[in-house]
Amino acid sequence: MDAIEKFKADIQDWLVKNGFENIDLAWNDDYAYGIDSRTIYVGVQAFPEISEWFEEFLVENGCQYSDILDPVKCFLHELGHHETIYQFDNTQLSWFEFFKNFDDDSLDDKEFLWHYWQVKDEWAANKWAIDFINTNINAVCDLIDIYCDDWNDIVHQYDVFQLVGEPL
């Protein structure tokens, strides 16, 4: 089994073990969730400054743990979309998309992202991730172990930027 197959198998096993099924995985530049395809897109790029702001946002909003690997926080956020997105109808989601893309020139990048993370669908995913982390830290640690073990193998065997757009 190569590194990508192992990563996918380990993530899928983790999902099933924790009660999440019928979720596909694919590579992308950044983490995202595909509503229609029920796909978590695994990002290959790192954004250190945004990661720092996101952790600050999560902790300020009740997350009891810090220093969780950024890809794990992002994965749990996207899993939060999977768990919460269906509480909104298409009209609401369209409005949320409008609000998320509204560029207020008076905001710096951090302020813009804090507003973005509070739009209702993003907040629902963030709140879900916060609650999951706070009540399932052992499962979060297991996911961290998967990323630590498997991601390093992938990076050593592949140019991860070449994986973007490929199914996982």
pLDDT tens digits, one per residue of 26-60:
999 999 999 999 999 999 998 999 999 999 999 99
**Average pLDDT over the chain, rounded to whole?**
92
| Distance of alpha carbon 12 from alpha carbon 157, whole angstroms | 21
| Distance of alpha carbon 52 from alpha carbon 64, whole angstroms | 16
pTM of the model: 0.93
Percent of the chain with pLDDT over 90: 74
Q: Where are the beta strands (DSSP E) in 2-154?
A: 24-28, 32-34, 39-43
So what's the pLDDT on residue 100? Answer: 79
pLDDT band per the 50, 70, 90 thresholds, residue 73: very high
Domains in the chain, number: 1
The alpha-helical segments, DSSP class H, found in the chain are: 3-17, 48-60, 70-84, 90-101, 109-116, 120-135, 137-146, 152-157
Query: What's the domain range around 70?
Result: 3-163
Position 168 in a domain: no
| Distance of alpha carbon 21 from alpha carbon 75, whole angstroms | 15
Q: Is the pLDDT of residue 130 over 80?
A: yes
Nearest-5° Cα angle at 136, 140 to 116: 70
Contact indicator for 58, 129 with CB cutoff of 8 Å: yes
So what's the pLDDT on residue 163? Answer: 87
**For range 127-156, the mean pLDDT:** 95
Position 140 in a domain: yes
